[in-house]
Structure 1
Amino acid sequence: MLNAANRHFRHRAGVYLALIAIGLLLMVPTFSPPPEGEHLKQIKARDFITIHTRNTPTTYYEGRHGPTGFEYELMRRFAQYLGVSLNLDASHHIDTVLPAVRQKGDLGAAALPLETSQEGIHFSQAIIPLQPLLVYRRGLNGIDAPDDMPGLDIGTLGGTGTSRVLKQMQGQYPALSWKESSELEVAELLAQVEAGVLDAAVIFDHQFRLNRLFFPNVERGFTLGEPLSMAWAVPSGRGLGLLDAVNDFIQELRESGVLDQLVERYFGHDDYLEYVGTRTFLSHLDSRLPQFDAMFREAARNTDFDWKLLAALGYQESHWNPEATSPTGVRGLMMLTNPTAKEMGVSDRLDPAQSIDGGARYLRSIKERLPESITGEDRLFMAMAAYNVGLGHLYDARRLVEQQGGDPDSWADVRETLPLLQHREWHSQTRHGYARGGEPVIFVRNIRRYYEMLNYVERSRQQFFQLEQSALVPTDSLPLFDIVPPID
């Protein structure tokens, strides 16, 4: 009897406990995961996607003819892929991108290293490899392998993944040490190596290829460890629709070959501004220029420039190759973009006559738009600089010159300031942001050299012609002009 009563009590108690448990479950709010495509639906409903990025040469910057950069090209194409507008926030350092993605969305694209665990973040599939590279100041001897790194004053950028590689190396080289900053960018780091503030730096290989021309005293060293991977970041907890769309987009670019084409366009060429040697120039002077001599002279008459200056500009742009195509898609002897060609009425950029005429008129239009306070050679040199980097960045440099107490109408002062646009400390104060400010300085310098060589050759040929007419020098003994006077 007692056992039956106990069984009855336990049964009723079990029922009560089950009911209580069910009641407690009903009192606790439940959170179901968001629909897979909810975030993506929101983006499409508002008709724009916000992408957090950085103002750098490998991500996004305002170029000669508008926004450019490897990741900007991907971002622009991804917005088109989704059928929405692109809203960029390029105000970030490397360490502020992921917090912005977590708090605001929608996506982070800023040369981010793929990480397996990052709270609140999903990473896309790999976009391109990021190969860490040690670079060092020219003149330091015996830096040939990782064994030589301990004892060097090394800098790197925090948050980019390079410090991860260095930490792995510390297991083998305990004496290895370095400095890192998440507020600097690559150009500023290389500038510290060039100036002797640092002995060396660890950056990525493609970053060095884009910047090496501006830092001639920085040497390529050796690669470190296995490549990392560049990826995009989306917020977790808001469904996987956007992440799936990003991965599908990247996969389509890879399979179609477009991704490889973009890598080649932005990172495959890094020496088009180099100053070629005298013999090469003079060889082209004989083999190429005669085809276009009359065209340069005609364009010069129409625009009031010295024909030799236009020829020097053409040589800098294409080495007098009428079918030249740059990594960024500008084409022809004077390397005109499509918008510039349309503005100048050029229907065929590969037609040398049209290209020379359009380039000359474009240079003239830039020169005429400059402030009247800029005069003489300063006006010409600034027009050539703007031909390369754009008027907006030239005006930014002039404002910085003025802030520093210099003369914004002096090319000498502007020339010193333009490279500052590569440094975040300075370009963050400007209207148009980052620019490869060293390029227009090299661009103008090279054109002046080619112009001087053309003048020298023309004067020499006139002298030889006079001598030939006087029968003082046989025509078959005229020397090749191997010696060119130095230019300051």
Structure 2
Amino acid sequence: MPEPERRILLSRLRLAALSLLGIVLCLFPYRHFMPAKGLLEAVRERDFISIHTRNTPTTYYEGRHGPTGFEYELMRHFAEFLGVSLTLDARHHIQSALEAVRQEGDMAAAALPLDLTQPDLIYSRPILDLQPVLVYRRGLPPVTQIDDLAGLSVGTIRDSGTDRVLRELQTEHPELGWRESPEVEVAELLSQVESGALDAAVVFEHQFRINRIFFPGVERGFPLGKPLSLAWAFPAEGGLGLQQEANRFLSGLQQEGKLDELVARHFGHDDYLEYVGARTFLAHLDERLPAYTELFREAARDTGFDWKLLAAVGYQESHWDPEATSPTGVRGLMMLTLPTASEMGVSDRLDPAQSVNGGARYLRQIMERLPESIQGEDRLYMAMAAYNVGLGHLYDARKIAEERGGDPNSWRDVREALPLLQQHEWHSKTRHGYARGGEPVIYVRNIRRYHEILTYVDRSQQQFLQLNETSNGEGDDTPLFDIISPLH
């Protein structure tokens, strides 16, 4: 064969080989090219671990201060334990996460119930007990046992483990029936119960605990069956190395007490946003606020806000406790994160003056970043909501409001859209995904209540002062009345 033709043929063969290699790489993900030693070695060689998860409040979501969630924190710490970076695919429900980890990726962490019958998968040691509970719509006769479910429509999430418990109970109670779907999440189930689309639902105790504040029309009924176990899933073909490292990591967390701390942080505080009673608020008004009133007034002069509004935000954030620290690490009277404090030039978050000034300027910055189309009180309320949930989620809620035929510049319509960020049907179509969208609604509502009370008290005190001055005459410094809250 002449030399030019031979070179052309070799060039074509090389091109064909490269094309074939590209097709093979597409058809067989990177995991299939791992070293013979196993998946653990492959993870360390490529320097990252790929995890399939779900966009839910117990697994992974974008929170007020960035990515968060019980399992997200575990995944992040596990990646650090291995000395590698972390990549996530959160576009799953439970069954698709399991199927994905069989085909690609290194593990699944998606609120998975330990299930030793799953083919081609191995599981980590148990991480958390999962106690199924029956919840029902308030107003129905009390539901305290299985026999009370007769005639009620019950819903649950397919493949979550609660459906497995129901099937086991059905062997003893053949009349037991329910609806199930892999596409719904807990917030959607509770919403359907509250609205009357369902009479009851079966979820896990910790899931109900962190969602119930958003669904006051849903009552806890009774525990159903024995607890299951939350665990991580790994491909059996990858060997035992990665699973064993996960078990070593989880055992260490438990022995050090850090696993219990994570559980308490994410599932032990279900009422921190509830509106406290007037007596508690007024006690704090008398005992705590006077020490910080001038700080709020000074910050108001600098930022153009009503000082009483800033004080109401401070009460909602910390109950006017300058040393407050949240389970997620935000600190101080205005509960600033480290990144926000740094951005606002706050060097000491526990310094009340710095915290109040930084929080006020941060709220003003958020207001200035909102579209000009949002005006008046709507602009203020949306800024406060973004202070709580983040601008990204607020913008997602505005788009949902518009999609539903509402006004994205109206707080009333955006307020109705925010809780929909808890429902898969809606948050799956947004840029920033799941959010505890009911929280900013309660947050703004509370601040407005506190502001109204502060305004009333302040106005009443001014009236008392004027009356005292009039009654005492010029130059008499002795007041006729003590300056106390008229709401006591």
TM-score (norm 1): 0.89
Letter in 1 for 2:487: D
> Closer, same or farther in 2 for the Cα pair 1:458/1:479, shift >3 Å?
closer
Question: 1: CA distance between counterparts of 2:218 and 2:349?
Answer: 37
**Is the Cα contact below 8 Å between 1:108 and 1:234 reproduced in 2?**
yes
| CA distance, structure 2, for counterparts of residue 233 and residue 98 of structure 1 | 7
Q: Distance in 2 between matches of 1:464 and 1:146?
A: 61
Indicate whether 1:316 and 2:321 are aligned. Answer: no
- What secondary structure sits across from 1:356 in the alignment? helix
Q: How far off is 1:145 after superposition?
A: 2.5
Contact 2:133/2:204, CA 8 A, preserved across alignment: yes
1:98 and 1:181 map into 2 onto residues whose CA distance is 16
Give the Cα–Cα distance (whole angstroms) in 2 for the partners of residues 35 and 319 of structure 1.
56
- Equivalent position SS for 2:292: helix
- Superimposed CA distance per residue, residues 127-154 of structure 1 (whole angstroms, 9 cap, x where no aligned partner): 0101111111111123122332232211
Q: In the alignment, residue 452 of structure 2 is paired with which amino acid?
A: E
Query: What's the CA shift for 1:420?
Result: 0.9
Distance 2:314 2:452 in 1: 14
Q: Which of the numbers 479, 482, 485 marks the counterpart of 2:487? A: 482
Q: For the Cα contact (< 8 Å) 2:35–2:42, is it kept in 1? A: no
SS of the residue corresponding to residue 444 of structure 2 reads helix
Range with bigger deviation, 213-222 or 145-154: 145-154
> SS at the partner of 1:237?
helix
Partner of 2:258: 258
Name the structure 2 match of 1:419: 419
Q: Which residue of 1 aligns with 2:4?
A: none
Tell me whether 1:436 sits opposite 2:436 in the alignment.
yes
- Which range moved further: 328-337 or 50-59? 328-337
Partner of 1:300: 300
- State the SS of the aligned residue for 1:466: helix
2-structure distance, mates of 1:139, 1:417: 26
Which amino acid in structure 2 is aligned with residue 111 of structure 1? A
Q: By how many angstroms is 1:168 displaced? A: 2.0
Read off the aligned partner of 1:250 and give its amino acid letter.
L
Percent identity (aligned): 68
Specify the alignment match of 1:177 in structure 2.
177
Which amino acid is 1:238 matched to? G
CA contact (8 A) 2:464 2:481 kept: no
Q: Distance in 2 between matches of 1:415 and 1:166?
A: 36
C-alpha distance after superposition, 1:32-57 (max 9, x if no partner) = xx988421111111111110000000
SS at 2:207 equivalent: helix
Separation of aligned partners in 2, 1:468 and 1:218: 51
* Matching residue's letter, 1:92: H
Amino acid of the structure 2 residue aligned with 1:331: R
* Equivalent-residue separation in structure 1 for 2:480 and 2:71 (angstroms): 57
| Distance across 2 between alignment mates of 1:232 and 1:60 | 14
2:468–2:481 CA contact under 8 A, matched in 1 = no
Instruction: Assess if the C-alpha contact under 8 Å between 2:185 and 2:424 holds in 1.
Output: yes
Within 5 Å, which residues of 2 pair with 1:256-295? 256-295=256-295
1:323–1:333 contact (8 Å) kept in structure 2: yes
Q: Which amino acid aligns with 1:270?
A: D
Pair 1:456 & 2:461 matched: no
Assess, with a 3 A threshold, how the Cα gap between structure 1 residues 245 and 272 changes in structure 2: closer, same or farther: same
Give the direction of change, closer, same or farther, for the CA distance of 1:107–1:115 in structure 2 (3 Å limit). same
* Closer/same/farther in 2, CA of residues 218 and 36 from structure 1, 3 Å limit: farther
The Cα shift of 1:173 comes to 2.3
Q: Secondary structure at the match of 1:201?
A: strand
Q: Say if 2:200 is the partner of 1:200.
A: yes
What is the one-letter code of the residue matched to 2:289? L
Structure 2 CA distance for aligned equivalents of residues 142 and 250 of structure 1: 40
Change (3 A) 1:142 1:397: closer
**d(CA) in 2 for partners of 1:246 and 1:50?**
14
- Amino acid aligned to 1:54: R
Q: Please give the root-mean-square deviation of Cα atoms over the aligned residues, in Å.
A: 1.8
Q: How does 1:376-391 map to 2 (within 5 A)?
A: 376-391=376-391
Structure 2 match to 1:133: 133
- Counterpart mapping for 1:204-215 below 5 A: 204-215=204-215
- Who is 2:241 aligned against? 241
Q: Does 1:328 align with 2:333?
A: no
Assess if the C-alpha contact under 8 Å between 1:36 and 1:240 holds in 2. Answer: no
Kindly state the Cα deviation for residue 276 of structure 1 after the two structures are TM-superposed. Answer: 1.0
Question: What SS does the corresponding residue of 1:462 show, helix, strand or coil?
Answer: helix
Unaligned ranges ≥5, structure 1:
1-33, 484-488
Q: Is the 8 A contact 1:381 1:411 kept in 2?
A: yes
Q: SS of 2:232's equivalent?
A: strand
Match of 2:69 in 1: 69
Q: 1:356 to 1:478 in 2, by over 3 A?
A: closer
CA contact (8 A) 1:150 1:173 kept: no
Give distance in 1, aligned partners of 2:289 and 2:402: 41
Partner of 1:82 in structure 2? 82
Moved more, 56-65 or 407-416: 407-416
8 Å CA contact 1:322–1:332 kept in 2: the answer is yes
- Taking a change above 3 Å as real, the CA distance of residues 195 and 278 of structure 1, as seen in their structure-2 partners, is same
Q: Which residue of 1 aligns with 2:364?
A: 364
SS of alignment partner, residue 67 of structure 2: strand
Offset at residue 480 of structure 1 (A): 4.8
Matched-pair contact (CA < 8 Å) for 1:137–1:193: yes
Corresponding residue of 2:46: 46
1:312·1:451 contact (CA, 8 Å) conserved in 2? yes
Give deviations 1:294-326, integer Å, cap 9, x for gaps. Answer: 111111111111100000000001111111111
1:183 match: secondary structure? coil
Q: Which amino acid aligns with 2:344?
A: M
* Paired position in structure 2 for 1:350: 350
CA distance in 1, matches of 2:58, 2:257: 20
Amino acid across the alignment from 1:354: Q
Match of 1:5 in 2: none
**Partners of 1:37 and 1:240 within 8 A in 2:** no
SS of the equivalent of 2:184 reads coil
Deviation (angstroms), 1:482: 3.2
List aligned pairs for 1:395-410, cutoff 5 A: 395-410=395-410
Letter in 1 for 2:64: R
Aligned mates of 1:141, 1:441 — CA distance in 2: 30
SS of residue in 1 equivalent to 2:136: strand
Tell me if the contact between 2:142 and 2:221 (Cα under 8 Å) persists in the aligned partners: no
Aligned position for 1:154: 154
When the two structures are aligned, how many residues end up with a matched partner?
A: 450
Report if the CA contact (8 A) 2:95-2:159 is conserved.
Answer: yes
Q: Does the 8 Å CA contact 1:151/1:175 hold for their aligned counterparts?
A: no
Please give the alpha-carbon distance, in whole angstroms, between the structure 1 residues aligned to 2:221 and 2:38: 48
1:232 maps to 232
Residue 422 of structure 1: how far off its partner (Å): 0.7
For 1:475 and 1:134, the matched residues in 2 are separated by: 60
Contact 2:52 2:89 survives alignment (8 Å)? yes
Q: Is the CA contact 1:37–1:242 (under 8 Å) kept in the aligned structure 2? A: no
Per-residue CA deviations over 1:254-296 (Å, capped at 9, x if unaligned) read 1111111111111111111111111211111101100111111
Provide the secondary structure at the position in 2 that maps to 1:294: helix
